[in-house]
Homo-oligomer: A and B are copies of this chain.
């Protein structure tokens, strides 16, 4: 889907405030409510907007500590990797998992309560994951910043053409 300047405005606003009312969104973007509504629906149906979520305060829900874990597998056979990936997704403290280039195989981002909680997760969950040869844990001493909003520019297109509609 090709995005014009108005789409970029709408997406930029919704990336910051996903619960703007359609009327408010329209006004800020300088568009009528009906046109705005139709554009947003089109962006949702084209899969440009993947969904809407509430972001919680990590401290407030007892997950104030982020830990970044580098994982090295015993080998890189397809079955080994598949088994690891399936198992790691079951660990609810793991927020993201990337297969990476470099010396290690995977990078995980975990959110836990505190160091003591991480010790528990490491012992009860991570160390038992299949195929793991080595785990290197890097504690995030401080979150310098985190974003969910991607900066956009008009004219750029991708390959998404599905008809999804998850969190609308």
Interface residues of A (CB under 8 A from B): 1, 3, 11, 14-19, 46-64, 66, 68, 85, 88-89, 92, 95-102, 104, 106-107, 111, 136, 138-152, 156-160, 166-168
Contacts and interface: CB of A to CB of B under 8 A. Distances in A.
B48 A56 contact: yes
A144 B111 CA distance: 17
A51 B139 contact: no
Contact of A146 (B14, B96, B99): B96
A3 B60 CA distance: 9
Given A50-B56, A55-B50, A61 B152 contact: yes
Q: Which 7 A-B pairs have the closest CB atoms?
A: A60-B160, A14-B54, A97-B144, A18-B52, A19-B52, A62-B156, A98-B140
A149 B99 CA distance: 21
18 contacts: A1-B60, A17-B51, A19-B168, A48-B61, A49-B54, A49-B55, A49-B56, A51-B54, A52-B54, A64-B159, A95-B146, A97-B143, A98-B142, A98-B144, A99-B143, A100-B138, A101-B139, A101-B141
Contacts of A55: 49-53, 148, 167
A60 B48 contact: yes
A107 B68 CA distance: 9
A95 to B, nearest CB: 5
A61 B96 contact: no
